[in-house]
Structure 1
């Protein structure tokens, strides 16, 4: 996830001075867990002591007065597991580009656009064409150093090749090696564009394959079990932003142990078409982004962390950040099969960098109410359970995706356009906006039996992607003939239909990939809209490009009518329920989102008593009413298993060393300095004594205390302390 390199340098100059005056206390490590994490370029300082399980130390470089190993040690000394992250397409690799690594200048490895401009990520750091020399550098100058420092979990972030790139000498040489023919400029034809992006995809697939294999092998030689993860944007976002990445294919690599789904306000606020209007629809977009990461990894059993960011890269104001953080946070919690999280990137940016105050030209550090709310949300993730409960709505409808979605986004050929990635959103948004929890399904994963488990209706279009091999169609045809229902949407008239690919080479002579699929399904379309029976299954053909469903006002009516018929009559999956909301129970937590532009403007009501976890005051509510365009995150007291057992129900801190005796309950609270705690504690009776003390044993003087007899909860608020605040309660 991007962070301004200038900010990092300024920040480190201040931090290195601070470190000279800090004596790192030796703390007994917390129990080894890998549920929550954050990434940071900083050494430990009290203002960013987030208290997740893992501190992912970013970058292997040394700074003046501060080595990489010292940064790692500063977090280890505070009880954190320490992992490592670095960019695989960019990073602090000036020694490589400037020639201090091997005596050669490597700026020729930069990604270059048609007009000859290098695409820069930072000063002296371009986005990279991953050449053999760069891969060797990553292995020997980065990965080896990290493993030698005792780190066994490595995150290779954002393998990104810009679609507008592909004109450098290095890329041309890679073209010759891969295709066995001279390079062709992508702007000259759709086929050149497709082949260019296919090569970009392959180059980063190969780079990650080699680097991850080296990490595993080198670790093994040292007696270490090294794991490799890929933090990456979703396929939805990369396709929208015109970036090429290996994405789903990496989930099958033996060297890859998991992913971080990098979804946040910056990706999800991308304006999109719906009902003929372009605007930001953050919750809905985030829901689809997280879903595409789930479908990419679930069949391969890879670990998946969900990321959300309380701010974003673009300079907005704190109110904007808060509103969109709540939307993306809610979207990720609506996936009950994921309970591991990167709770934030760059805490040094969140806590120590000023941003605008809404409606003014003034800037300020994160407002206390927002940091309190954020920490309540973050610490809830430490306890967020997996659940077999399902999100409300009619499940079993999937939209097929493929990595080739990234291959035909730029540039435009023969007048073909897909504004704002609308051919994808046309298949998903008409259903999502009606409260249908539509899933995405990766063509790359069809070989895994789990991929289509529970899917009743599949939606497919080759208007914005193409199948990358014939096996994809074989698996798809088998599924339909066994009783599946397929809805195919598309005019099949874009210029990418006849690129030189498997469906028109090596004995195949199909004009379009869909034509080959239809042959396997034993159907022969002769008109625009048709319905076919094949085996035990059904195929619908709708000769419209999906972008027409969202770019035109009211354009989705025919599409949604077909989906209803397919779901209810052919799949016999029950009534297709349309509504304006999503709801999920996860343990004691209630997660709610109510959408605008839906079938109604009715609010959604959750009966209490509940604690509102989006409110830093943690109020108790008899009911929570959620209006269209809003989300809610609630702790439902009706589902507390044992109301006589004392426990911290919600807190803007992490809780340690809980001790319950006959008439007392004590624990230690830790959270970043210069933030305000807010917590609600369940007790069997009204407290007779409430004692709070800091790590030196001194009593806290400024404490807010409120007892609520109806809920049997005690509300406390006080200044946070990363060294720990001891709370002792007796009744």
Structure 2
């Protein structure tokens, strides 16, 4: 009896400690706490000093009083900074610091909120917000979306920064590829410097008052910014010592950007999300810093609830296929989700989120509180990488000499033919090549300079060394885009290469090229293909030779075994199983996942003997085979459990979730319950449903949620 009591006490302590100690889930919110969107993640990231009517300290305290750790987020390129722009900060207006297009129009983020050219004066203003947030008790600072539009760069403010950076007069970016590239490099530098300076201040100020804040950059992926023609520092930010990590801002709105594959341009949300998350994870993985992965149950654009749900499932499962990451921003703007109204398909009437979708969503986000990091690998051949660089953003706008790269097809031409066939390709950031971990697990690296250029000669030194030590490099590119001949390090200061690839070949000792043939370099191999990657996807059935060559590179030259083609991805992370099946594949079979499993994408949480996942579908399951007979365990719930106890054959906990939503939970018990009691503030309430499943030893329990918590007591 003493042993059982000791085990129960230890179980209770561990359960409570797990909830209180971790900082793995978060959401961002401008508004003060409200029972309607009391999401119960670890962290409430309170947004903006001037947002939601001001009253910043009161908004922070409202979340702190409910037990949340509070962090602070604000925009670095835009925000509710009308006091700055209208002159209330330093006595003069600053609308002249907005980002300006060629036609003289300012690019606006909202009324009286321009995207900004970050001047020194503006950074001093942002520091006042950082100080106020730290003084209010924020444990971390997030400066989000360092964005400079590619089409901007015509303001006097930008011209002044050009003169300071280059020591020469400004040149209009539309006049030449050279001017475009230089303009983009300056935009890149301005926000790198802005974040470096602001985060240095955040660290120094917090330490001066005996605190230690963390500093994060919430940012879209390199793929999205390149697609949307925005310049941002991206991977280089990890080199700033004050930067502790990122939030990967990936959601339906970014991942639904149409892309070409097999000659067809359309949305491919799951595949695009998989690549976007991969770009963010690989950007930071070699550094060992932290990253939160974000999803959004809806999105910024007004769509239907059906559309939101379908694409949320796609992006949510895509993020879970990166098992080394277990920290998440579960949603932005919960007030918009729980209180907003949108249409259903085939209807013009707007309505709030359905009880079923709210329950499903809450089951999904609550699972993230216990989602383990894992050393497991997603199914499929590992070790295929695609090289990317921040300079992908530099040559997207404007077009020169008629050279087009529709929908970033020079990247997707290398990626989608493999992803669609179940190969979990990794992205490798050139900016990380100095890090020994960047190419550690890569057997075959695919690259092109059709859509990017190397920012440093050191990248080529690292690539040549990797090949000579046994790596296999596939290069695709005609090297005839108009940015090949800009004045850069490969053709200045004593160098005279006609294209950057020429310098890379020189470093590997390659003097002659036999198109499409493998050349041995030290212990490794190189194959040069005089074809731009976009040609592999802009027309139908154009990727056959590429696939054959990649398979040959992996099996024959890397000696890494056959390259397996299939139509799905599958991963197990602790008790969770994540699966996805691609469409547009010659293989149209379903993926069968053996049970018993609980379907976490169904608000009824059914126990299934097996789960069929059809092409174009995803699955998020709980593997009941991983559950021990004793003690009790919550398998899934549309809420978060606190104060779990198991004493004298009675299992109890407090279940909290946003009010006016419905809870559905499945609980594994060591025996059939003899009594179930629910209470709210000491008063008994009725369950909507309690159903025992003897085969799985689980109880389905459903009742109305309340943010203050429903006390559950189950006698076994």
TM bin, normalised by shorter chain, reads over 0.9
- Tell me, yes or no, if the aligned pair for 1:424 and 1:547 is still in contact at 8 Å: yes
Q: Within 1, Cα distance between the matches of 2:513 and 2:26?
A: 55
- Residue 115 of structure 1 corresponds to 103
Q: What is the CA-CA distance between 1:62 and the residue it aligns to?
A: 6.7
Q: Using the alignment, how far apart are the partners of 2:79 and 2:574 within structure 1?
A: 40
TM-score (norm 1): 0.95
Task: Report the equivalent of 1:668.
Answer: 654
Aligned equivalent of 2:63 = 75
Note the C-alpha offset of 1:525. Answer: 3.2
What's the counterpart of residue 648 of structure 1? 634
User: What's the CA shift for 1:664?
Assistant: 1.1
Segments of 5+ residues of structure 2 without an aligned counterpart are 1-15
Matched, 1:182 2:162: no
Distance 1:297 1:63, change over 3 A: closer
Residue 610 of structure 2: SS of its match in structure 1?
strand
Which of 37, 40, 45 pairs up with 1:48? 37
For 2:190, the equivalent position in structure 1 comes to 203
Q: What secondary structure sits across from 1:519 in the alignment?
A: helix
Q: Return the offset for 1:637.
A: 0.5
1:457-477 deviation line (CA, Å, top 9, x unaligned): 001100000000000000000
Does residue 287 of the first structure (1) align with residue 279 of the second (2)? no
Aligned 8 A contact 1:30 1:79 in 2:
no
- 1:462 aligned onto 2:453: no
Shift of residue 530, structure 1, vs aligned partner: 2.8
- How is 1:216-235 mapped onto 2 (pairs within 5 angstroms)? 216-235=203-222
SS of the residue corresponding to residue 699 of structure 1 reads strand
Shift in CA distance, 29/564, structure 1 to aligned 2, threshold 3 Å: closer
Aligned partner of 2:673 in structure 1 is 687
C-alpha separation in 2, matches of 1:28 and 1:257: 24
Map of 1:420 onto structure 2: 407
Q: Compared with structure 1, are the counterparts of its residues 682 and 581 closer, same or farther at alpha carbon in structure 2 (3 Å cutoff)? A: same
Match of 2:5 in 1: none
CA 1:700–1:550 in 2, change beyond 3 Å: closer, same or farther? Answer: same
Q: Which has the higher contact order (CA 8 A, sep 6+)?
A: 2
Within-5 A mapping of 1:221-370: 221-370=208-357
SS at match of 1:116: coil
Q: CA deviation at 1:561?
A: 1.0
SS in 2 for 1:666: strand
CA distance in 2, matches of 1:582, 1:528: 33
**Does residue 93 in structure 1 map to residue 78 in structure 2?**
no
> What pairs with 1:12-31 in structure 2 (closer than 5 Å)?
31=20
Q: Distance in 2 between matches of 1:619 and 1:553?
A: 41
Q: 703, 719, 729: which one pairs with 2:688?
A: 703
Name which of 706, 711, 716 aligns with 1:721.
706
Following the alignment from structure 1 to structure 2, what is the Cα–Cα distance between the partners of residues 86 and 167? 26
Partner residue of 1:677? 663
Query: Given that residues 578 and 599 in structure 1 are in contact (C-alpha distance below 8 angstroms), is that contact kept between their aligned partners in structure 2?
Result: no
For residue 209 of structure 1, report the CA deviation from its aligned partner. Answer: 0.6
Deviation at 1:644? 2.4
SS in 2 for 1:311: coil
Corresponding residue of 1:611: 598
Give a deviation string over 1:44-87, Cα, whole Å, max 9, x none: 000010000000000012765x6100000000000000000000
Distance 1:224 1:29 in 2: 24
Match runs of 1:482-561 below 5 Å: 482-561=469-548
Structure 1 match to 2:22: 33
- Deviation track 1:170-211 (CA, whole Å, cap 9, x = no partner) reads 001111111111111111111111110111000000000100
Whether contact under 8 Å (1:156, 1:230) holds in the other structure is yes
| Contact map agreement 1:612 1:618 (CA 8 A) in 2 | yes
SS in 2 for 1:529: coil
Task: Answer whether contact 2:51 2:80 (CA < 8 A) is retained.
Answer: no
Q: Would you say 1:137 and 2:125 are equivalent positions?
A: yes
Map of 2:643 onto structure 1: 657
Q: Is 1:473 the counterpart of 2:460 in the alignment?
A: yes
TM-score normalised per structure 2? 0.97
Distance 1:311 1:605, change over 3 A: same
Give the deviation of 1:638 after TM superposition: 1.0
* Cα distance in 2 between the residues matched to 1:643 and 1:204: 54
Task: Describe the superposition over 1:202-254 as per-residue Cα deviations: whole angstroms up to 9, x where unpaired.
Answer: 00000001001011111111111121100000001000110000000001101
2:46 match: 57
How many Å apart are 1:541 and its aligned residue?
0.7
Cα distance in structure 1, aligned partners of 2:159 and 2:517 = 45
Q: CA deviation at 1:420?
A: 0.4
Query: Partner residue of 1:13?
Result: none
Name the CA distance, whole Å, in 1 between partners of 2:25 and 2:512: 51
Deviations along 1:561-585, whole A, 9 cap, x unmatched? 1101100000011111000000000
Match of 2:3 in 1: none
SS state at 2:314 partner: helix
1:634 to 1:216, Cα distance in 2 relative to 1, 3 A: same
Contact 1:32 1:81 in 2 (8 A): no
In structure 2, C-alpha distance between the alignment counterparts of 1:216 and 1:611, rounded to whole Å: 45
Distance in structure 2 (CA, Å) of the matches to 1:108 and 1:294: 37
Q: How many residues align?
A: 701
SS in 1 for 2:645: strand
In structure 2, the partner of 1:9 is none
CA RMSD, 1 decimal? 1.2
**Aligned partners of 2:74, 2:437: CA distance in 1, in Å?**
32
Matched position secondary structure for 2:537: helix
Partner of 1:623: 610
Indicate if the aligned counterparts of 2:31 and 2:52 stay in contact, CA closer than 8 A: no
2: CA distance, partners of 1:322 / 1:412: 37
Please give the secondary structure, in 1, of the residue aligned with 2:708.
coil
SS in 2 for 1:83: strand
